[in-house]
Homo-oligomer: A and B are copies of this chain.
Amino acid sequence: MTNKKPSINDIAKHLNVAKSTVSFIINGKAEAHRISKKQEQRVLEYIKEIGYKPNYMAKSLATGKTNSIGLIVENIGDSFFGPIALMIEERAKKSGYRIIYSSTRNNTNDALSVLQLFKDTHVDGFIIAPPVKMEEGVKKVINDKVPVVIFDRMLEGVKTDYVGTNNREVVEEACAHLLEQKFKRIAFISLASPQSQMQERLDGYLHTMRKKKQTPIVLQMRYDVDREGYRNEIIHFLQNNPDVDAVFFATNYLCISGLEAIREIGKKIPDEIGIIAFDEHDLFRLFSPSITAIVQPLEQLSATIVKILLNRIDKGTIEPYQYITVPSTLVIRESSVKKKLK
């Protein structure tokens, strides 16, 4: 018993067989290489006895596979990407893949450099919620035959798999609901972001407003601001638009800043101002009044993302790319239902 870890070579020598024989047996290819049952038993037993563990780095060097996936998101600590990261990892683990993650905080340069770094370390595939201007970087990766699944927001002109939700349709549903509740002046508060999911949400809003002959009122804030900044800007906006009687918030954290703003200026939800948020948050269930929200099916999104990526990794990248949208649900709570109507 030395304390050096045993290698395939050691096993082969000890058992007087060839390295290749051992390797085949370990990898379950004994049958395919017509190795005798007896031989296989002998090797398997010895492996168990000495507690042999293959060296993954050597294996990776020889095969070019690392069994790891790079996950690049906006912020792994937030209430959307965090749970997604949890579910993605749990599913990937079942298929023997590890997840390496990085948060971009929407910084394109950081995202590009981490993309390159992960690629240099030979991840087998990527799951990316990209910041803007990532098109070229992602294309390069795909060109080098590394599979990429984009999620949450699309990348224009990048041919690869995408998984997202039906932003536009569900926002239309939400806005229609507000109108039904007799809210008249519905504002849309969002980020000045060209990202596809934000554009789709805006489209849904504008489309419904136009269809119902309402005048849109849109606030698009810079996205490099902190919570305090959003709050102040929303206060300002609501004061300048006193006739606004409902707000659709394009993300959950904007809604949280919005709630702080509304508290500050003292408007009553829902009778003086109706509220709907995109994406769920613990707060929304418990807030008084509870907040109507569009809830994305996180489990289903994660499952789809992982399934598609693993399929690409296994089978290469032949079939047509998939564009999948999993529908979200409008969960109606108190903040969008006028008490007088009840």
Q: Which residues does A use to contact B, with CB under 8 Å?
A: 53-58, 60-61, 66-68, 75-79, 82-87, 89-90, 93, 98-103, 114, 117-118, 120-122, 256, 259-260, 263, 281-283, 286-288
Assembly CA distance A67 to B82 (angstroms): 24
Most buried by B among A57, A67, A83, A85: A57
**Cβ contacts under 8 Å, A55 to chain B:** 61, 122
A–B Cβ pairs within 8 angstroms, 19 of them: A55-B122, A56-B120, A57-B60, A57-B66, A76-B89, A82-B85, A89-B101, A89-B103, A90-B103, A98-B102, A98-B117, A99-B100, A100-B100, A259-B286, A260-B286, A282-B282, A283-B283, A283-B287, A287-B287
Closest chain-B Cβ to A26's Cβ sits at a distance in Å of 14
**Cβ contacts under 8 Å, A60 to chain B:** 57
Taking A76-B76, A82-B82, A86-B103 as known contacts, 7 extra A-B pairs with beta carbons closer than 8 A to each other, sorted by chain A number, are: A53-B120, A56-B121, A75-B86, A98-B100, A98-B121, A256-B282, A281-B282
Chain B minimum-CB-distance residue to A70: B98
Chain B minimum-CB-distance residue to A73: B86
Partner of A102, one of B58, B83, B89, B256: B89
> Cβ of A98 and Cβ of B118 under 8 Å apart?
yes
**Cβ contacts under 8 Å, A84 to chain B:** 77
**Cβ contacts under 8 Å, A121 to chain B:** 56-57, 67, 98
Assembly CA distance A67 to B260 (angstroms): 43
**Cβ contacts under 8 Å, A120 to chain B:** 53-54, 56
**Cβ contacts under 8 Å, A259 to chain B:** 286
Assembly CA distance A53 to B58 (angstroms): 19
Partner of A56, one of B114, B122, B283: B122
Chain B minimum-CB-distance residue to A3: B144
> Cβ of B288 and Cβ of A57 under 8 Å apart?
no
**Cβ contacts under 8 Å, A53 to chain B:** 120
Assembly CA distance A103 to B117 (angstroms): 24
Assembly CA distance A35 to B103 (angstroms): 40
Assembly CA distance A298 to B141 (angstroms): 34
Closest chain-B Cβ to A79's Cβ sits at a distance in Å of 7
Assembly CA distance A277 to B274 (angstroms): 30
Assembly CA distance A77 to B282 (angstroms): 13
Assembly CA distance A89 to B84 (angstroms): 17
> Cβ of A93 and Cβ of B68 under 8 Å apart?
no
**Cβ contacts under 8 Å, A90 to chain B:** 103
**Cβ contacts under 8 Å, A56 to chain B:** 120-122
**Cβ contacts under 8 Å, A85 to chain B:** 76-77, 82, 101
**Cβ contacts under 8 Å, A66 to chain B:** 57
**Cβ contacts under 8 Å, A58 to chain B:** 61
**Cβ contacts under 8 Å, A61 to chain B:** 55, 57-58, 61
- Asked, given contacts A89-B101, A89-B102, A283-B286, whether A77 binds B82 with beta carbons under 8 Å apart, the answer is yes
